[in-house]
């Protein structure tokens, strides 16, 4: 089980590298850092892994095939823990210059296990976006 949670944490970091790319995963330009982080994780919770990945700055230039392949891997891992049942903001810290933030989240899986995740965000011309 530890190996699964560790792998999910690694994938969570990959998913957390987010910047807006449009589509159903849009994050409001006026969203707070917490709202932006929750928006991405709600996509994961709803099983829309490809949309969550497409938000990622790292995957902005990825092909649809690459995104679908990564989504399949993430789907398989989340299915082993019963999916993502709930996402809760524990803490939000914005830098003094207002250009970056960290949101600490509590993730609850379908099997009842929980994990914490720190989501890094940056302020872009499109508002707060999870970042590398």
At 30, which CATH number? 3.10.450.50
The 10s digit of each residue's pLDDT in 24-72 is 456 788 889 999 899 889 999 999 999 888 776 667 678 999 999 999 9
Range of the domain at 35: 2-130
The 10s digit of each residue's pLDDT in 63-89 is 999 999 999 999 999 999 999 999 999
Q: How many domains in the chain?
A: 1
> Model-level pTM?
0.73
As a whole number of angstroms, the distance between CA 20 and CA 84 comes to 22
As a whole number of angstroms, the distance between CA 31 and CA 42 comes to 14
């Amino acid at each position: 089980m530890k190996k699964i949670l560790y792998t999910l944490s690694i994938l969570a970091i990959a998913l957390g590298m987010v910047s807006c790319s449009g589509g159903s995963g849009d994050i409001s330009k006026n969203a707070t850092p917490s709202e932006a982080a929750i928006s991405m994780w709600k996509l994961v919770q709803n099983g829309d892994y490809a949309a969550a990945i497409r938000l990622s700055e790292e995957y902005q230039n990825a092909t649809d095939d690459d995104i679908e392949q990564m989504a399949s891997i993430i789907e398989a891992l989340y299915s082993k823990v019963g999916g993502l049942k709930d996402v809760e903001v524990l803490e939000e810290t914005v830098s003094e210059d207002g250009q970056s933030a960290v949101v600490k989240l509590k993730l609850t899986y379908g099997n009842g296990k929980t994990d914490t995740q720190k989501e890094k965000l940056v302020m872009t011309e499109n508002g707060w976006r999870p970042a590398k």
